[in-house]
Amino acid sequence: MSVGTAIGRNLRLASWALCALLALVVLCGGPAAAADRLAGVALVVGEGDYAHLPKLTNPPNDARAIDDLLSDLGFEVTRVADADRKKLSRALRRFAEDAADADVALIYYSGHGIEAGGENFLVPVDADLSALDDARERLVPLSAVVEELQKAVPVTIVLLDACRDNPFPPGAVVRLDAGAAPAPVGAAGLSPPRGATALARLGTGGKDNLGALIGFAAAPGHAALDGAPGGNSPYAAALLKHLSAGGYAFGDVMTMVTEEVYLRTAARQVPWTNSSLRRALFFGAPQDGGDEAAIAGERRRLLLTMAGMDEVARREVAATAREKGVPMDALFAMLKAVGAETPKDPDALARLLGEQSARLKQIIAERDALASADPEIARLSRLAGEAVSEGALAAAIGFNERAKQRVGELAGSVDRAEAEAKARRLEFARVFADSARTYALAFDYAKAADDFERAFGQARQWDPALALSYKLASAAASEEQGYHRADDAALGRAGTAYGEAASLALSTSDMMAWASAQRGLARALWAKGDRTSGTAELDEAAALLEAAITRPELTALPQALAGARGDLGLVLLTLGARDSRGDALARASTVLGQALEATDRQAAPLDWARLQNRLGVVLMLMGQRQGSTALLAEAEQRFRLALEERRQDVVPVDWAQSTNNLALAVASLGEGDTASARLEESVGLYRAALAVQTRERTPLLWAEAQANLGTSLYELAGREAGTARLEEAVAAFRLAGQEITRVTAPLKWAALQDNVGLALSKLGERTSDPQKLKEAVAAFSDALSERPRATVPLDWANTQNNIGNAHYRAASLTGDGGELAQAIAAYRAALEVRSRDGTPVEWGKTVNNLGNALYDLAKAEGSAARFREAEAQYRAALGVADRKADPFGWATTRNSLGETLLEIGRLENDAAALEEAQAAISDARDVYLGAGQTRYADFFATLLAQVEIAKMQAEVARRIGQGGGKP
C-alpha cells in the first residue's frame, strides 16, 4: 500500500491485475447468460480533507460506501483517500497499467473537480490557487487516463461525483501548462471529457473494446450537492441504492440513478451520463421476491417511467411537491397509475396533482399518528408507508389490504383479551418484579432496576399503588448500583425515579410513599457527595430531609418520620466528618437518637440495626476527634448491637458493613492500648468482612475495607521491627486503589493516597531510604490535589501534617536543612486549621511534630532559644494528651520533652531542667517497658545515663562558679 493512501478492504499491495470475478456481471443481450462472468477492477477515490481549498465533509463517507458496494458485487477494489497530487496521479497511472487483464474497469471519484480548456481536472488535497498556473503538473487531468483504459480494457466506467461548486475564487483562470495562455475555469462542475463522444472508436488493446460509460453527478456546467454532513452525497446515495439492481441493463441502472437524484434533491440536481456501450451490461441476476424486493422493484419501474415523462408534467409535479410539502415520488407514482389518462391541459394536471397531494398528506399524518401492537400489522403498515414514500402505490395498496385482513382475524381475540388485560398486565408486572428481586440477590442492581421499571410500566395503568411500589424499588436498585459501584449515572437515574415516585405519591395522597421517595432522593445525593470534596450534594440532601421531618403530615407517621431522621443523621455525620466545629456531628447524634427511640426493635429489627450502625459511626468520629475512649467504647457497643440483627446469613452486605465499622472502632481503641491485641482483632474483622464484601459484589465497599485493613497493618508495623507489615499495608492500599479511582471517588482516592504516603514514609524511615520518602511526598501531593482546604479543611490539614513528617524524616536521614524547613512550614500550615478547641487530638499531634522539627533545628544551630521553642511545643501537646487514652503517644511526647530539657540543661547548666528531664524520660520508659516493649530498654538507659552525666557536669559548673576551684 502506498504511503499516504488508504486502500479498501480488499488489500492488494502490488497489483490491481489480481482481479476478482464480478457476481453475475455479464455482457450479453439479456441477464440470463451467467456463463459470461467477467473480471472487474475498481479504483475508488475520496478527496475531502483539503489543505488550502474548502473542505468537503462527505467524500470519505462516499468512498467507503462505494468500496463496500463494489466489493460485494465482486470487484477487486482499491480505495484512495485524501491523496495529494503525486499520490493521486500515481494511483490512476498504476490502475490504468494494471487493469489490462480485467474485463471491466471502474473509477469512482468523489471530491473537487474543475473544467478548463476542454480538460477535466481532479483536484488533489494539496492543491492551492497557484496550481492553476500549471494545471497539467499541479492538478490531475482525467482524459489521458480514460483513453488509456479504453485501449486496454473492454469496458470502462467512470463515475465522477465531482461536480461540487468551483473551489477557486470567481474569475480564476487556468494555464494548462506553465506560460500558456489562460483559460477560464468552468462556472460549476465538470464537462464531457475530451473524447467522450468518440469513446466507441477507442480501443486498440488486445481485447474487443465494448465501449465506455462516463457518469457525472450533475449536468455539464452545473454544481451538485454534497449532502448532509456525515452522510453521502445524493449521487453516491443513488448509486448505493441502485447499482446492484439485478436484472436491469447498466444503462437503465444509470437512468434510475439520475431520477433518484432528481427526486432526492427536489429537482435541484440532475446527473448526466455519456454512454457508448455497444452491448448490454448487467450487474447480477434479478432479485427473488419478497416484500422489500416488491417495493424496490416498483420503485425502479417508477424511475424508468419518470424518465419518459414529458418535461411539462415533470415541472408541474416538482412545483406541486414544493408548494404542498409532499414527496415528489408519490406524485409521480400517481401519474404513472393514471397512465394514458393523464391530463394534457396544464390546469387540469395542476388540479389533479393538488387533489392527490391533499390525500397524500392525510395518509402520511395518519400513518405517523398510529401505532400497532400486532407485529404483523406493524410490519405491513411500515411497508405500506415505505411504499408510499418510494412511489410504489400498487405495493402500498397490497400491504394495506393484507393489514385489514389481519385486523379481521384479530378482532374477536382482542374483544376477549380486553376482559383479561388487567390480570395479565399485573401478572407480567409480577414476573418482572420477581426477576428484579433475583437480580438484586445476585448484586446485579442495574438489571434489577431495569426489571422493576418494566414492572412499573406493566402495572401503572391498572394498579397505581402497586406501580408506585415498583417505581420506588427501581429507584432503590439504581441507588444501590450507584453506591456500590461509584456509578454517578445510576445515582442520577435513582434521583429521577425518586422524583417521579414522589409526584405519584402526592397525586394519590400516599405520604408514606412520599417520605420514602424523599429519603431515597436524599440518599442518592449523599452517595455522590460522600465521594467528592464539595458539600453541594450533602447540603441539598440535608435541606431536603430537614424539610421532610418538619412536614405536618409526617407527625402521624412515626415510622416514616424515624426513617427520615435516620437518613438525616447519615448526611449530617458525613458533613460532620469534614467540619472541625463538630456542630453537624452533634446534630447527627441528636436526630439518630430520636429515630432510635421511635423504632421498635421487634417490629423493625433491620431499621433498628441500621440506626445503631449510624449512631456508632457518629460516636466513633467524635471519640477519635476528642481522644475519648469512652465514646469509642460506646461506638464499639453500638456496632455489636447492630450485628445482633445484621446477621451474615440474612443481610450479608449490611453485616460486612457493620463488621468493617466495628473493626474501625476496635482499631481506634487499639491505637491507645499498649498491647496489640485490639489491632490484631481489627485485622481479623476486616478480613472477615472482605470474605463477604467481595470485589465482584460491592467493589467500592471491598476497596474501603482493603484500605482500612492497610491502616491497621500500618499501626501494627509501628510496634514491630522490620518492614513486613508495612509492605503488606502498602499492598492493601494499592489493591484498594484499583477500585477507588480519582474519577469515581476523588475524596476517597485522596484518602487512599494519603495512606500510601504514610506507609512509604515509615518504610523510608525504617530502611533509611530517601527515595521512599520522596515517593511518600509525591503520594501526599496527589492527595492534596483532591483535598482542597476550602471544602475539606480537616483532610487538607491532615495531609499537610503528613507531608511535614515525610520531610522531617528525610532531613533526619540526609541532614538537609531545606527538608527541615519544609517540614516546619507544613506543620505550621496544618496548625492554621487544626485547633485545640475543635480538634484537640490532631492539634496535639501536629504541635508535637513541630516540636520535633524545632528540636532538630536547635541541635543543628546549638541554640538554647530554639530548644526553648521546642519545649513550648511539647508542653502544649502534653496539655491535650491523655495518658489513659493514648499511652504511647503521651509517652513519646514526654520523652521528647525530656530530651529537650536535657539539651537545655547541658547548654545552660540548668539543674532544674535536668531534674525534670530525668522525670519525663523515666515516665516514658515506664510506659514502654510496662507494655512489653523491651527493645527500647537500652535506649532509655542510655538517655538516663546522659542525664546523670549532665547533672554532674552542671554541679561541677555550679561549684566552679561559686568557689573558683575543684569541688
pLDDT tens profile 811-854: 999 999 999 999 999 999 999 999 998 889 899 999 999 999 99
Q: 304 and 176 share a domain?
A: no
Q: Within this chain, do residues 267 and 159 fall inside the same structural domain, yes or no?
A: yes
Question: Measured between alpha carbons, how far is 147 from 493 in angstroms, rounded to an integer?
Answer: 65
Closest residue by Cα to residue 826 from 880, 759, 757, 875? 757
Q: Are residues 309 and 241 in the same domain?
A: no
Helices of type H across 113-180: 135-138, 143-152
Asked whether the predicted pLDDT for residue 200 surpasses 50, the reply is: no
Q: Is residue 768 part of a domain?
A: no
Please indicate, yes or no, whether residues 185 and 312 belong to a single structural domain of this protein. no
Cα separation, 308 vs 748, whole angstroms: 75
Domain boundary, last residue among 247, 282, 317: 282
Q: Is residue 444 part of a domain?
A: no
Is pLDDT above 70 for 963?
A: no
Residue 935's domain is classified under what CATH number? 1.25.40
Mean pLDDT of 890-912: 94
The answer on pLDDT for 205 being more than 50 is: no
What's the CA gap between 57 and 48, in Å, rounded? 6
Q: Are residues 156 and 269 in the same domain?
A: yes
Mean pLDDT for all residues in the chain: 84
Whether residue 20 has pLDDT greater than 50: no
Binning pLDDT at 50, 70 and 90, where does residue 682 land?
very high
pLDDT at 21: 33
Q: What is the pLDDT of residue 331?
A: 79
Residues 164 and 268 in one domain: yes
Residue 811 lies in a domain: no
CATH code of the domain containing 139: 3.40.50.1460
Is residue 235 predicted with pLDDT exceeding 80?
yes
267/334 same-domain check: no
Q: Are residues 325 and 253 in the same domain?
A: no
Which of 274-283, 335-344, 476-485 has the largest mean confidence? Answer: 476-485
Calculate the CA 826 to chain-centre distance: 37
Q: Average pLDDT of 638-654?
A: 93
For residues 364-369, average pLDDT: 54
Query: What's the pLDDT at 823?
Result: 95
- Rounded CA separation 794/839 (Å): 9
Same-domain check for residues 252 and 309: no
Residue 198 binned pLDDT confidence (cut-offs 50, 70, 90) = very low
User: Does 812 reside within a domain?
Assistant: no
Q: What per-residue confidence (pLDDT) applies to 208? A: 65
Q: Which of 74-78, 312-316, 427-431, 690-694 has the lowest mean pLDDT?
A: 312-316
Any domain includes 410:
no
- Evaluate whether 239 touches 159 at the Cβ level (below 8 Å): yes
178 and 227 assigned to the same domain:
yes
Q: Strand, helix or coil at 21? A: strand
Check whether residue 308 and residue 239 sit in a common domain: no
- Find the helix or strand (DSSP H, E) in which 158 lies: strand 155-161
User: What are the angstrom distances between the C-alpha of 294 and each of 287, 299, 383?
Assistant: 10, 8, 10
Query: Which residues span the domain enclosing 620?
Result: 532-628
Closest CA to 65 of 81, 50, 85: 81
Res 967 pLDDT > 60: no
**The domain boundary residue, chosen from 572, 593, 628:** 628
Nearest partner of 386 among 330, 332, 314, judged by Cα: 330
What is the structure's pLDDT at 394?
A: 76
Mean pLDDT of 749-760: 93
> Domain for residue 883, yes or no?
yes
- Asked whether residue 878 is domain-assigned, the answer is yes
* Same domain, yes or no: 100 and 219: yes
**Domain limit, last residue, from 595, 628, 661:** 628
Number of folded domains that form the chain: 4
Q: Is pLDDT at 199 greater than 60 in this prediction?
A: no
pLDDT at 204 over 60: no
Across the range 759-782, mean pLDDT stands at 93
Considering the domain boundaries, does residue 96 fall inside one?
yes
Residue 443 has pLDDT above 90, yes or no: no
What is the rounded average pLDDT of the residues 642-670? 93
Q: How confident is the model at residue 360 (pLDDT cuts 50, 70, 90)?
A: low
| Long-range CB contact pairs, 906-913, < 8 A, 24+ | 906/950, 906/953, 906/954, 907/862, 907/864, 907/867, 908/864, 909/953, 909/954, 909/957, 909/958, 910/954, 911/951, 911/954, 911/955, 911/958
Q: Please tell me which residue, 24 or 259, carries the higher pLDDT value.
A: 259
Cβ pair 541, 528 in contact under 8 A: no
pLDDT computed for residue 201 by the predictor: 30
Q: Please give the Cα distance from 64 to 46 (Å, whole number).
A: 8
Q: Is the pLDDT of residue 29 over 80?
A: no
Question: Exposed/middle/buried for 413, CB within 10 Å: 0-12, 13-18, 19+?
Answer: exposed
User: Residue 435: CB partners within 8 Å, gap ≥ 6?
Assistant: 451
Burial of 808 (0-12, 13-18, 19+ CB in 10 A): buried
